[in-house]
Chain A
Amino acid sequence: MIKGAYVHIPFCEHICYYCDFNKVFIQKQPVDDYLNALEKEITNQPRSCEIETIFIGGGTPTALNTEQFEKLMVMIKDHLYHNGITEYTVEANPENLDNAKLRLMKNYGVTRLSLGVQTFQNDLLTEIGRPHTNRDVIHVMQEARHYGFDNISIDLMFGLPNQTEDMLRASINEALRLDPEHISIYSLQIEPKTIFYNRMKKGKLVLPGQDIEAQMYELIINELAANGLIHYEISNFAKKGHESRHNLHYWNNDEYFGFGAGAHGYINDKRVVNAGPIKSYIREVNKKGHARTATHEVTRTEKIEEEMFLGLRKLSGVSKRAFYTKYHQTIDDIYSRELADLKERGLLTEDEKRVALTKQGVFLGNTVFESFIK
């Protein structure tokens, strides 16, 4: 059963220094051809059942102009949307989310906004290549509420160059003042092909380091819990009932479509990837109706491993019954040694219903996840 659809808009007005997603400057790009190809790809994809969630991400979906944005909304409405959709998210950046786009989204059924805020310090925003200010964020939140959006997520970052714990605390407080339903808060990872990566290689990037980062993460968990946001995944916090259903599909190891340049999908036991470069994506779709470049058939072993290392990202952990229903073996049948070892080390906890990370396990998640890979 394919539960969700991810749609990728690989265009940006600004390139953030930390971003390694598939994206390009929007100027001089064949945006309209891209949207046509996207529509062709979506309509060509055979579907046997109805999906539950839609997520439009990027890049920056709101970097499209109003007509292009409307075209995107219409396309989704025509080919993916239906009354059973329980969550429909669009990623938006504060600097280019205008009222016209808010109105379009509201009219075409978008239920959830995910705002790329990152931090509330204007100096720090400049240092990470973001063009917006904290004022833009406050304004956009007001307008979104005004248009009736009642499920808004704010994206924040920590472990940024020159970021202190005080700065982080201030950002969290600002975010809480805006009363979002959901906060995603990611620690900075330096990835190849980013501006930060190149700076780091030249020795010109000063990062807080592991110890400060751990303290920051602790701070985040405490502050958000104190304000009624439930820590439900490593990097995600939500008011009760506002957990991201689309993202939960990933962590529940469910299947999903991936549409657009460089998008990843998980369809009928196969992990698939589309061509990344815009032009080759358009060419492939026009030629073959799809742009798939790589397909990996997931073996049973891999599937079980992924069930564990994705599922354990949820603070509620992996359900024993769901696991057994899916694989006709218990977690203990397969991983008794790993479970015993991780429990002894205080990283994992187990009751009759589920296996989950302990508090320390949340911090040392990769140590836990790695144990479930053969």
Chain B
Amino acid sequence: MSDNKKSRQSRIRNFSIIAHIDHGKSTLADRILEATSALTHREMKAQMLDAMDLERERGITIKLNAVQLVYKANDGEEYIFHLIDTPGHVDFTYEVSRSLAACEGALLIVDAAQGIEAQTLANVYLALENDLEIIPVINKIDLPSAEPERVKQEVEDVIGLDASDAVLASAKAGIGIEEILEQIVEKIPAPSGDPDAPLKALIFDSVYDSYRGVITYIRVVEGSVKVGDKIRMMATDKTFEVVELGVFTPKPIAKDELTVGDVGFLTASIKNVSDTRVGDTITSAVNSANDPLPGYRRMNPMVYCGLYPIDSAQYNDLREALERLELNDSALQYEPETSDALGFGFRCGFLGLLHMEIIQERIEREFNIDLITTAPSVIYDVTRIGGVKERVDNPSKMPEKKDIETIEEPFVKATIMTPNDYVGQVMELCQGKRGEFIDMVYLSENRVNVIYHLPLSEIVYDFFDQLKSNTKGYASLDYEFLGYKPSHLVKMDILLNSEKVDALSVIVHKDFAYERGKAIVEKLKELIPRQQFEVPVQATLGQKVIARSTIKALRKNVLAKCYGGDISRKRKLLEKQKEGKKRMKTVGKVDVPQEAFMAVLRMDQDK
């Protein structure tokens, strides 16, 4: 290896930023960009790492990005930084772990007023598992409520990191930025791989581009890759020829070669993101590495729901939308499904609830399709009498009770971090969600980790929202999959106007069935507008009605006045009314609004 190359490799620093939502990650990333790259203020949109509108609105980074920056350090040398952005939500734990695996270090951003949150902690542990050097940064020290010393102590107590060198910063006010950059140079090790070994590059993200095919974000761990090289994906065993290599500064800059330690992008006329799975290893097709990089996992959806177009003529549009989204999202799964109530649609699998909401919103916004979403469900392992096993991802497909030997459902280990004032509320909530208490650990004087085993289906409902409202937003949640356990579950059907609506069926625990049934029929009564005739709403277990309510008949809706000849106003009113009706699905003879299909999710919120 030439000295030149060696020297360059020694001046590379790869890192990411670990932070809880709102703790200032994007602002800090912006400051680092300003302090290093050639980017001017005018070129830079605020918080430019968060590209999609949706991300910006929710303040969550969904897709990862990697930026190459040049920093002239106090020692006079120029360093090449690669800042790799990570998503910050529990649904994307695996993606986070892969982008961390592309780094040698991480900045841990902790809000000087709020301290460590559960999600941050989970990601720090991921970083530690990946042997990353962690630089603690106490951010927002200019806030009047900032308690940097307390938070430093928390970092030491809770994570066990030495926080004596922690940078006291305010990304917003531009305080501590240089110190952060210097610590990156000093503390984070340079990449160690051998540039002459067979190629091993880690895929940590990929996006689909309609002109160039899949753009793969890679970190070269061993060897090097050049334009024109034949490459092979070690997990999917697909081979391609490299068309384009480059780095983002954040503008894309083409390169002829990426070598050890480099973080950049690669295109190779790849048609489908599922050929370039996150965590897979790219090697040379000619001179292959023996083993892939460790840690590759095929992502499996945890949460399923039905997506149906309100206007059944949009079925094909919906399929195209899913195909397009799948190009960018290998975790999204879907297959056609038919519902008696809703017609033709798709059963879709998601990593979690947030993932599900993001996909729904994108379909509605970007593809202009009004959707009916059925309540999310987990996958149940059902053993029929006689021993035949099957997996049920749709409550309406649950076999009849008399045919079932056992139903098993997925459980998770939920770690809830809360100020100790709210421990009571948290435990009450978990208890009400069929939780099994496991442990309670005091992290510091007033912060507690409460650990429960919970059925995933309970979390999938509205656990997170309730947790937030019961703890004034202070508690945070992280969960990991434990395994399947048998439960006393039953299928509850909902009848509208005496007709079973398959899209409203839910699986509930036997002991909660009456309570749930009552809540659902009341909620539906509230959500479904009056019809021309009276509509009974019933919840049933098998043939047995366990709860009922009645939607009264529409008696009068005729508009009185003509507004002194203002016909346009009258027209607008009727148009609005018509528009509302178009957003409803006619089930039997009943017009049902979108929200009603999610009624099971909402019912606990009003209690």
In the complex, the answer to whether A213 meets B556 with C-beta atoms within 8 Å is: yes
Contacts of A256 in B (CB 8 A): 565
In the complex, the answer to whether B558 meets A362 with C-beta atoms within 8 Å is: yes
In the complex, the answer to whether B561 meets A186 with C-beta atoms within 8 Å is: yes
In the complex, the answer to whether A235 meets B555 with C-beta atoms within 8 Å is: no
Within 8 Å of chain B (Cβ to Cβ): is A182?
no
Contacts of B578 in A (CB 8 A): 370, 373
Within 8 Å of chain A (Cβ to Cβ): is B338?
no
In the complex, the answer to whether A214 meets B555 with C-beta atoms within 8 Å is: yes
Q: How far is the CA of A315 from the CA of B558 in the complex (A)?
A: 13
1/0 per residue A324-367: CB within 8 Å of B? 00000000000000000000010100000000000000111111
Contacts of B558 in A (CB 8 A): 234, 362-366
Min CB gap B276→A, angstroms: 46
State which of B532, B554, B560, B565 has its C-beta within 8 Å of the C-beta of A187: B560
Q: How far is the CA of A306 from the CA of B567 in the complex (A)?
A: 8
Within 8 Å of chain A (Cβ to Cβ): is B4?
no
Within 8 Å of chain A (Cβ to Cβ): is B196?
no
Contacts of B441 in A (CB 8 A): none
1/0 per residue A235-251: CB within 8 Å of B? 10000000000010011
Within 8 Å of chain A (Cβ to Cβ): is B530?
yes
In the complex, the answer to whether B566 meets A364 with C-beta atoms within 8 Å is: no
Contacts of A234 in B (CB 8 A): 558-560
Q: How far is the CA of A115 from the CA of B287 in the complex (A)?
A: 97
B106-114, B364-372, B486-494, B569-577 - the one binding chain A: B569-577
Q: How far is the CA of A264 from the CA of B563 in the complex (A)?
A: 9
Given known contacts A189-B559, A217-B556, A345-B532, is B566 in contact with A366 (CB within 8 Å)?
no
Contacts of A365 in B (CB 8 A): 557-559
Q: List A289-313 residues whose CB lies under 8 Å from chain B.
A: 296, 302, 305-306, 309-310
Contacts of B574 in A (CB 8 A): 309, 366, 369-370, 373
Contacts of B565 in A (CB 8 A): 6, 250, 256, 258, 263-266
Within 8 Å of chain B (Cβ to Cβ): is A211?
yes
Min CB gap A247→B, angstroms: 7
In the complex, the answer to whether A310 meets B567 with C-beta atoms within 8 Å is: yes
In the complex, the answer to whether A370 meets B564 with C-beta atoms within 8 Å is: no
Q: How far is the CA of A300 from the CA of B564 in the complex (A)?
A: 23
1/0 per residue B536-559: CB within 8 Å of A? 000000000000000010111111
Q: How far is the CA of A370 from the CA of B573 in the complex (A)?
A: 9
Within 8 Å of chain A (Cβ to Cβ): is B286?
no
Q: List B505-559 residues whose CB lies under 8 Å from chain A.
A: 530, 532, 552, 554-559
Q: How far is the CA of A367 from the CA of B563 in the complex (A)?
A: 19
In the complex, the answer to whether B552 meets A367 with C-beta atoms within 8 Å is: no
Within 8 Å of chain B (Cβ to Cβ): is A57?
yes
Within 8 Å of chain A (Cβ to Cβ): is B581?
yes
Within 8 Å of chain B (Cβ to Cβ): is A48?
no
Q: How far is the CA of A250 from the CA of B567 in the complex (A)?
A: 8
In the complex, the answer to whether B532 meets A370 with C-beta atoms within 8 Å is: no
Within 8 Å of chain B (Cβ to Cβ): is A8?
yes
Within 8 Å of chain B (Cβ to Cβ): is A21?
yes
In the complex, the answer to whether A364 meets B560 with C-beta atoms within 8 Å is: no
Min CB gap B571→A, angstroms: 7
Nearest CB in chain A to that of B530: its residue: A210
Most chain A beta carbons < 10 A, residue from B554, B560, B563, B581 = B560
Within 8 Å of chain B (Cβ to Cβ): is A271?
yes
Contacts of B556 in A (CB 8 A): 187, 210, 213-214, 217, 363-364
Q: How far is the CA of A273 from the CA of B569 in the complex (A)?
A: 11
Q: How far is the CA of A363 from the CA of B552 in the complex (A)?
A: 15
Given known contacts A210-B556, A367-B554, A370-B581, is B566 in contact with A264 (CB within 8 Å)?
yes
In the complex, how many residues of chain B place their beta carbon closer than 8 angstroms to a beta carbon of chain A?
A: 25
In the complex, the answer to whether B555 meets A211 with C-beta atoms within 8 Å is: yes
Nearest CB in chain B to that of A213: its residue: B556
State which of A235, A265, A362 has its C-beta within 8 Å of the C-beta of B560: A235
In the complex, how many residues of chain A place their beta carbon closer than 8 angstroms to a beta carbon of chain B?
A: 42
State which of A247, A273, A364 has its C-beta within 8 Å of the C-beta of B562: A247
State which of A187, A189, A250, A366 has its C-beta within 8 Å of the C-beta of B577: A366
Q: List A262-292 residues whose CB lies under 8 Å from chain B.
A: 263-266, 271, 273
Q: How far is the CA of A271 from the CA of B568 in the complex (A)?
A: 8
Nearest CB in chain B to that of A368: its residue: B558
Q: How far is the CA of A213 from the CA of B558 in the complex (A)?
A: 11
In the complex, the answer to whether A364 meets B567 with C-beta atoms within 8 Å is: no
Q: How far is the CA of A187 from the CA of B558 in the complex (A)?
A: 9
Min CB gap A211→B, angstroms: 6
Contacts of A373 in B (CB 8 A): 571, 574-575, 578
In the complex, the answer to whether A264 meets B530 with C-beta atoms within 8 Å is: no
State which of B559, B561, B564, B575 has its C-beta within 8 Å of the C-beta of A264: B564
In the complex, the answer to whether B559 meets A250 with C-beta atoms within 8 Å is: no
In the complex, the answer to whether B557 meets A235 with C-beta atoms within 8 Å is: no
Q: How far is the CA of A302 from the CA of B552 in the complex (A)?
A: 34
Min CB gap A329→B, angstroms: 21
Nearest CB in chain B to that of A363: its residue: B556
Q: List A207-225 residues whose CB lies under 8 Å from chain B.
A: 210-211, 213-214, 217
In the complex, the answer to whether B562 meets A211 with C-beta atoms within 8 Å is: no
1/0 per residue B570-591: CB within 8 Å of A? 1100110110010000000000
In the complex, the answer to whether B575 meets A296 with C-beta atoms within 8 Å is: no
Q: How far is the CA of A256 from the CA of B567 in the complex (A)?
A: 12
Nearest CB in chain A to that of B533: its residue: A345
Min CB gap B147→A, angstroms: 41
State which of A258, A296, A310, A364 has its C-beta within 8 Å of the C-beta of B554: A364
Contacts of A213 in B (CB 8 A): 555-556
Contacts of A186 in B (CB 8 A): 560-561
Contacts of B577 in A (CB 8 A): 366, 370
Given known contacts A250-B562, A370-B578, A373-B571, is B532 in contact with A363 (CB within 8 Å)?
no
Q: How far is the CA of A369 from the CA of B576 in the complex (A)?
A: 12
Q: How far is the CA of A235 from the CA of B567 in the complex (A)?
A: 16
Given known contacts A364-B554, A364-B556, is B561 in contact with A189 (CB within 8 Å)?
yes
Contacts of A265 in B (CB 8 A): 565
Contacts of B575 in A (CB 8 A): 373
1/0 per residue B70-105: CB within 8 Å of A? 000000000000000000000000000000000000
Given known contacts A363-B555, A365-B557, is B564 in contact with A8 (CB within 8 Å)?
yes
In the complex, the answer to whether A366 meets B560 with C-beta atoms within 8 Å is: no
Q: How far is the CA of A234 from the CA of B570 in the complex (A)?
A: 14
State which of A21, A247, A266 has its C-beta within 8 Å of the C-beta of B567: A266
Min CB gap B433→A, angstroms: 33
Most chain B beta carbons < 10 A, residue from A263, A302, A364, A366 = A366
Q: How far is the CA of A262 from the CA of B308 in the complex (A)?
A: 45
Given contacts A211-B555, A271-B567, A306-B571, 17 further A-B contacts (CB under 8 A): A21-B564, A189-B560, A247-B562, A250-B562, A250-B565, A258-B565, A263-B565, A264-B564, A266-B565, A305-B571, A309-B570, A310-B567, A366-B558, A366-B559, A367-B532, A370-B574, A370-B578
A-B contact pairs, 25 of them (CB 8 A): A57-B564, A187-B556, A189-B559, A210-B554, A210-B556, A210-B557, A214-B556, A234-B560, A235-B560, A235-B561, A247-B562, A250-B562, A263-B565, A264-B563, A264-B565, A309-B571, A309-B574, A310-B567, A363-B556, A364-B556, A365-B559, A366-B559, A366-B574, A370-B574, A373-B575
Closest 9 CB pairs of A and B: A365-B558, A214-B555, A186-B560, A214-B556, A366-B557, A264-B565, A264-B566, A363-B556, A187-B560
